[in-house]
């Protein structure tokens, strides 16, 4: 009886486990179907997201074999056909073949370009791409100029080491008459999240490139190479993203300085040099191409902008002139606190009669229209009767928002809300419009200086020391000034602005030093 019961329990457990596995397999396959339906409907982003969900589901639940291979295969199809990323598609196809050697492309979603990349993936897996590269490569490079080769179809010999902050030459042999359309090196330096691409150019005996010196940093730089024929189809590779070549970056040489054939070894960068593509540099443009990762537009080639960490085509158009669309954030919002320094002078009208005679020490009564008062006041009105002119504090909060119509010209609106104010129309608020002119080259990060002028309406009231009422101004505002900002990221920074205000027709002059937060987008 007990044996039968145990057998039933075992069978139930196996059945339950089988059911769970079958459910997970079905889930992965369903997600693949949904993704490719979205891909066929040109919903590329949705297709990629759904396939990534399928991949995570498969990895989390131990799904292997054909379902996993199909997921990687579909990811490669979407990467190449939807995003034009042959490099990423190649890696997905390699993973697909590693999971399932029998996996094949669907003729309904395949294209000549996709088929070419898939053929290259088959070649890579067949040439040893499934094997793990020996861990002795880095050790060997520090001891001898002869490196351990990563798998590939292109002959390549990496340098064992390079001096830090010195351009790294990379060379592959190729006959001058080889039908090569382009050869790219994909490299990753310390701190980079993804591989970045650079074009290799024709040099004596093959193709070569020098990685930017500003990105050659310890402990190592990794890279792999992919060649394409004149039609854009992949034709060979050296190394891979999983098994890249690795060059040790050292502070003192133990090997001869590397160089491209027929060229002198590159010199170490100095602190004053600004290599193209180095973060913070404003001279020149970087080498990152279309679809490559980036941290700022300066890292992308001319004609491309950095959008969401990828170099993309500049969609701003090109109408000539000095405008550089995409080099700067289009809109901004600034919120700051200003001290407010108002000039108070004897004879300025005030907003009310003091509540007690003791609060009228600096006030005098004048008949309407009397020469002692600088402006008309109502009957029983008062004007300041100061012993000497001076400066009074008038703190406030200023909000300024606008957009750049051009790389050098912006329009905005502002509002100044006084912390303290007296009575009368618009006594506490000043508002209007502002025209800003950029004085420095446009940049998404770093320092920026502007000059501005504007106008509006409202009041700017000041309160003289030991005086209860506030001196009132006219309701028309004219202002001008200078500003500076420093953005730590493309979206967030600090700003300082100095503004001179003139209120009319009842004149009042005031100055606003303002410090606050700037948000750009």
CA 257, 261, 262, 263 dihedral sign is negative
At 510 the pLDDT is 92
Phi-psi label, residue 278: left if phi above 0, alpha if psi -120 to 50, beta otherwise: beta
- The CATH number assigned to the domain holding 480 equals 2.40.160.20
pTM assigned to the model? 0.40
At 326 the pLDDT is 41
Task: Let me know whether 359 and 451 are in one domain.
Answer: yes
- The CATH number assigned to the domain holding 39 equals 1.25.40.10
At 344 the pLDDT is 82
Boundary-marking domain end, from 82, 111, 126: 126
At 279 the pLDDT is 41
Task: Let me know whether 382 and 495 are in one domain.
Answer: yes
Between the alpha carbon of residue 4 and those of residues 14, 17, 221, the distances in Å are: 15, 20, 63
Interacting residues of 9 by C-beta distance below 8 A, sequence separation 6+:
none
At 162 the pLDDT is 93
Task: Let me know whether 336 and 453 are in one domain.
Answer: yes
Task: Let me know whether 244 and 378 are in one domain.
Answer: no
**Three-state SS for 211?**
strand
Boundary-marking domain end, from 203, 231, 259: 259
> Which residue range forms the structural domain that includes residue 211?
149-259
Structural domain count, the chain: 3
- The answer as to whether 270 is a domain residue is no
- The answer as to whether 136 is a domain residue is no
Task: Let me know whether 91 and 211 are in one domain.
Answer: no
- The answer as to whether 264 is a domain residue is no
pLDDT tens profile 42-63: 889 999 999 999 998 888 888 8
Task: Let me know whether 412 and 339 are in one domain.
Answer: yes
With 0-12 / 13-18 / 19 or more C-beta atoms within 10 angstroms meaning exposed / middle / buried, residue 330 is: middle
Residue that is written with structure tokens 């000549």 in the block = 112
Task: Let me know whether 35 and 72 are in one domain.
Answer: yes
- The answer as to whether 324 is a domain residue is no
- 3-state helix, strand and coil shares in percent for the chain, rounded to the nearest 5: 25, 35, 45
Task: Let me know whether 116 and 221 are in one domain.
Answer: no
Boundary-marking domain end, from 93, 126, 159: 126
* Regions of the chain where pLDDT drops below 70: 1-22, 126-152, 175-178, 232-233, 270-299, 301-303, 307-328, 354-388, 466
Task: Let me know whether 96 and 192 are in one domain.
Answer: no
- The CATH number assigned to the domain holding 218 equals 2.60.40.10
At 442 the pLDDT is 81
Closest by CA to 240, choosing from 125, 103, 161, 116, is 125
What are the start-end ranges of the H helices in 125-171? 137-141
- The answer as to whether 326 is a domain residue is no
- The answer as to whether 312 is a domain residue is no
- The answer as to whether 325 is a domain residue is no
Give the per-residue SS3 of 442-482: CCCCEEEEEEEEEEEEECCCECCCCCCCCECCCCEEEEEEE
Task: Let me know whether 121 and 154 are in one domain.
Answer: no
- The answer as to whether 277 is a domain residue is no
At 420 the pLDDT is 86
Q: How far apart are CA 94 and CA 516, in angstroms?
A: 52
Task: Let me know whether 347 and 446 are in one domain.
Answer: yes
- Cα–Cα–Cα angle for 300, 316, 201, rounded to 5 degrees: 30
Task: Let me know whether 68 and 191 are in one domain.
Answer: no
At 451 the pLDDT is 96
């Amino acid at each position: 009886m007990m044996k039968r019961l145990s057998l039933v329990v075992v069978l139930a457990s196996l059945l339950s486990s089988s059911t769970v596995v079958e459910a997970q397999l079905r889930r992965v396959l369903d997600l693949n179907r949904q993704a490719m339906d979205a891909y066929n409907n040109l919903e590329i982003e949705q297709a990629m997201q759904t396939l990534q969900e399928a991949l995570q589901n498969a990895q989390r639940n131990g799904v292997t074999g054909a379902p996993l291979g199909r997921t990687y295969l579909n990811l490669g199809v979407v990467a190449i056909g939807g995003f034009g990323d042959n490099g990423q598609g190649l890696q997905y196809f390699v993973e697909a073949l590693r999971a399932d050697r029998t996996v094949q492309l669907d003729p309904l979603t395949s294209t000549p370009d996709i088929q070419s990349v898939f053929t290259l993936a088959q070649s890579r897996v067949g040439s040893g791409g499934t094997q793990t590269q020996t861990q002795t490569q880095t050790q060997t490079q520090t001891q001898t100029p002869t490196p351990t080769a990563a798998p590939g179809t292109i002959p390549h010999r990496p340098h064992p080491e390079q001096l830090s902050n010195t351009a790294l030459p990379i060379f592959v042999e190729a006959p001058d008459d080889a039908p090569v359309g382009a050869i790219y090196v994909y490299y990753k330096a310390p701190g980079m999240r993804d591989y970045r691409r650079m074009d290799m150019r024709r040099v004596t005996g093959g193709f070569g490139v020098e990685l930017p010196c500003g990105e050659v940093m310890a402990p190592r730089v990794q890279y792999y190479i992919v060649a394409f024929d004149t039609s854009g189809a992949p034709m060979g590779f050296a190394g891979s993203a999983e098994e890249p070549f690795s060059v040790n970056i050292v502070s003192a040489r133990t090997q001869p300085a590397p160089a491209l054939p027929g060229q002198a070894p590159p010199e170490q960068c100095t602190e004053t040099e600004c290599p193209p593509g180095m973060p913070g540099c404003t001279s020149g443009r970087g080498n990152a191409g279309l679809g490559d990762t980036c941290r700022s537009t300066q890292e992308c080639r001319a004609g491309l902008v950095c959008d969401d960490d990828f170099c993309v085509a500049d969609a701003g158009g090109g109408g000539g002139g000095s405008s550089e669309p995409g080099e700067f954030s289009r809109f901004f919002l600034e919120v700051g606190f200003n001290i407010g320094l108002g000039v108070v002078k004897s004879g300025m009208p005030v907003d009310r009669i003091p509540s007690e005679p003791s609060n009228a020490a600096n006030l005098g009564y004048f008949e309407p229209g009397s020469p002692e008062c600088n402006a008309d006041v109502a009957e029983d009105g008062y004007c300041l009767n100061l012993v000497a002119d001076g400066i009074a504090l008038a703190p406030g909060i200023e909000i300024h928002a606008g957009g750049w119509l051009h790389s050098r010209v912006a329009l905005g609106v502002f509002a100044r809300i006084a912390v303290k104010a007296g009575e009368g129309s618009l006594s506490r608020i000043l508002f209007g419009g502002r025209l800003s002119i950029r004085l420095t080259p446009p940049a998404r990060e770093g320092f920026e200086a502007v000059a501005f002028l504007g106008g509006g309406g409202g009041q700017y009231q000041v309160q003289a020391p030991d005086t209860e009422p506030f001196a009132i101004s006219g309701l028309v505002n004219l202002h001008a000034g200078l500003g500076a900002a420093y953005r730590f990221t493309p979206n967030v920074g600090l700003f300082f602005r100095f503004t001179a205000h003139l209120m009319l027709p009842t004149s009042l002059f005031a100055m606003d030093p303002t410090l606050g937060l700037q948000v750009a987008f």
